[in-house]
Structure formats: C-alpha cells, structure tokens
Amino acid sequence: MRVFVMVMLLTCGPALAGLALQPDTGSPLRLVILPPWSDGPALVTAAGGAVVGPETAPIAVLAQVDDLQAFDTAIRALGALWVMDGASIAAFCGYAT
C-alpha cells in the first residue's frame, strides 16, 4: 500500500498541485478525487451530480452539479478524498461548458 501511495504521489502530485492552484471559478463542473476501490459514478449520482463524459478515471470523476455547496458536502460525506473546480481539467480534456 505504501508503494502505491508513493507512486501515485510522484506521478500525479505535480499535475494535481497545478490544478489545485487554479482559482475556483464557480463553474458547475467539479473534479472529484476518490479512492480507487470506490464506484465514482454511483457516488456522484448519490450526491446529486451527473457524470460528464463517457469515461472515468480509476480515481477521478468529472461531475456537473446544480448546487456546488450541497454537492461538495454530500460527496465528501460519501468518501471523496478531494473536490475542486473542474473547469480547468474540463477545458484540458476538450469539454466546453
């Protein structure tokens, strides 16, 4: 487990740090980072969001939400490790709001 965490930090850390420094734009898109053993799309739906795109990553889901505060609170209560503005990553992936 420690090796997995170290590899994830070394490979994903710089990219996540760059995304974390982006200001919250108030976009209806949220990037949700989840444990790899959780069902991301099901948790996003349970928290009141909708999954954006046909594919999801093992540890991240891009979600569109109506109420940012309520979604952030609900998804964290369901086990999300991190929730942030998803506008930057959506633009990077070619998704236009």
Give the full edge-to-edge strand order of the sheet including 82-85: 50-51, 60-64, 29-33, 82-85
| Domains (range + CATH), the chain | 2-92 (3.30.70)
Q: Which two three-digit tokens encode residue 45?
A: 């739906």
The alpha-helical segments, DSSP class H, found in 1-97 are 2-20, 40-46, 68-77, 87-92
Per-residue confidence at 74, pLDDT binned at 50, 70, 90?
A: very high
Q: Which two three-digit tokens encode residue 9?
A: 């930090």
Q: What is the pLDDT of residues 22-69, one digit of tens each?
A: 656 678 889 999 998 999 999 999 999 999 877 778 888 999 999 999
Question: Which residues does 45 contact at the CB level (< 8 Å), separation at least 6?
Answer: 51
